[in-house]
Structure 1
């Protein structure tokens, strides 16, 4: 399986410019050269918005928004699955905004919209919490789970650090692939961030964190689950924005 993470530094508010740049970065790839393409969180809008009024001009509908259209075009051209992050407004409920990703199939069909469950402080100024983590069956891929950045962390940094809500969910769901769009801040080094992401996924591969009833509820064969290979893909943005530096 060939997976591409398209990572770049979007200019905040310059959606069309950012989309053109992403398209140019992908021009060298031909159909069949990529199986799954993952872009960062809020890939074309930038990430730091101070309130609902600030982000309002950039909100997109899940079916017809500019990000979803771009994803469909690239999916068709590359014959690949494509996931991209964007700020979502919901038809019929225009007062609720979400930090979301679209997941599009090889034939350009929208397979899933996932809304971020664990909000970072930057999100809380404008976004609602999503209804919960997701993992769905996708023909040709198996069980695919979705995440957005802060989802890997404990809820609001307030729940028990070793609750591992995200990882335990995907253990129970027996996800084969977990795709995450990121706008993860730089710590000491990028390698430190990767180490931390691995730590947040410990229940998927370390028995110490799966020997409890909550983690294993609904799993018929825990031994088989522990021996499964789970593919984790994180596509993080780069650069800086409003004083924040990304890994």
Structure 2
């Protein structure tokens, strides 16, 4: 479709520490929608989607940390070639001696062309990961009809350590300065902070949780409101035990789903999925320019 960007987001509930099963499940989800995915430019998957998100320490996560030939990397390369599109997927990554919460960007030719590292670590990351060197926006990504392209991973959108002044908007202002027209966001956005009191873990309806999640993202992107920028987010669903973080509790953290495409020019939600169900969002949007 000339002048349009076709995007797809996978919203999935992975099984913790079952990379092979999760890769197979994600592929099956795509195959069921293969006809609708024809002509897609960009496929986005959530943060650490093939491994699960909560890990108690570096030793715990070590078996699923990936280098360039890891299972998630191979999956992305294969799917990028299968769909002839750019694939962006979250993965815990090993780079030399560093352990990083990353997003890999794979071209339609099946080559990893970018590795984006999470800069603002969340409590669940700090048990094992080191922060990346800085936010990333790239002038062009092979296969995408829009540029520049900015990237972010979950907590990156928030103030650093929740201590930086909220009005600094570090992430949004970075992409404003770099003129990013497309923001690719991979996430494992949680309903609760791991240290919340038990009563804060009360259930909420899908509609309520989705609205709170979208409101939170839009609030953190305020410097980009009125700009011709498209925000594309893949966020996971399901629950994980806080015990996986080493916490002595029976509580589980719920992930907020609501994978979405939002036009920041007028803050219109073009399309979004529910807060709890697996699915694939597919949307055609005009290419932002000017």
- TM interval, shorter chain, is 0.7 to 0.9
Quick one: distance in 1 between partners of 2:38 and 2:30?
A: 13
Which range moves more in the overlay, 131-140 or 24-33? 24-33
1:141, distance to aligned residue in structure 2 (A): 2.6
**Whole-angstrom CA distance in 2 between matches of 1:74 and 1:178:** 21
Aligned mates of 2:138, 2:160 — CA distance in 1: 22
CA contact (8 A) 1:97 1:126 kept: yes
For 1:131 and 1:32, locate their aligned partners in 2 and report how far apart those are by CA, in whole Å: 36
**Unpaired stretches in structure 1, ≥5 consecutive residues:** 207-227
SS at match of 1:171: helix
- Give distance in 2, aligned partners of 1:134 and 1:178: 10
CA distance in 2, matches of 1:190, 1:32: 28
Task: Report the CA distance between 1:186 and its aligned residue.
Answer: 2.4
Indicate the residue corresponding to 1:154 in structure 2. Answer: 159
Q: How does 1:1-247 map to 2 (within 5 A)?
A: 1-27=5-31, 28-30=33-35, 32-61=38-67, 63-90=68-95, 93-94=96-97, 96-138=98-140, 139=142, 140-186=145-191, 189-205=209-225, 228-242=227-241, 243-247=252-256
Residues of 2 paired with 1:142 and 1:164: CA distance? Answer: 22
The DSSP-based 3-state class of the residue aligned with 1:6 is strand
8 Å CA contact retained: 1:38, 1:179: yes
Counterpart CA distance in 2 for 1:47 and 1:33 is 31
Q: Distance between the aligned counterparts of 1:32 and 1:246, measured in 2?
A: 29
The two structures have a TM-score, normalised by structure 1, of 0.87
How many residues are treated as equivalent by the alignment?
Answer: 222
Query: Partners in 1 of 2:139 and 2:220 — Cα distance?
Result: 23
Runs of at least 4 residues off by over 3 Å: 30-33
Secondary structure of 1:142's partner?
A: coil
TM-score by length of 2: 0.74
Q: Which has the higher helix share?
A: 1
Structure 2 unpaired stretches of 5+: 193-203, 242-251, 257-290
Cα offset, 1:65, TM superposition: 1.5
Q: Secondary structure at the match of 2:74?
A: helix
Distance 1:178 1:38 in 2: 11
Q: CA deviation at 1:32?
A: 3.5
Partner secondary structure for residue 118 of structure 1: coil
Name the Cα RMSD after superposition. Answer: 1.3
- Aligned-partner Cα distance in 1 for 2:17–2:229: 35
The DSSP-based 3-state class of the residue aligned with 1:49 is coil
In 2: Cα distance, 1:186 partner to 1:81 partner: 29
Higher relative contact order (CA 8 A, sep 6+): 2
Partner deviation per Cα, 1:44-70 (whole Å, 9 max, x = no partner):
000000000000000001x22211111
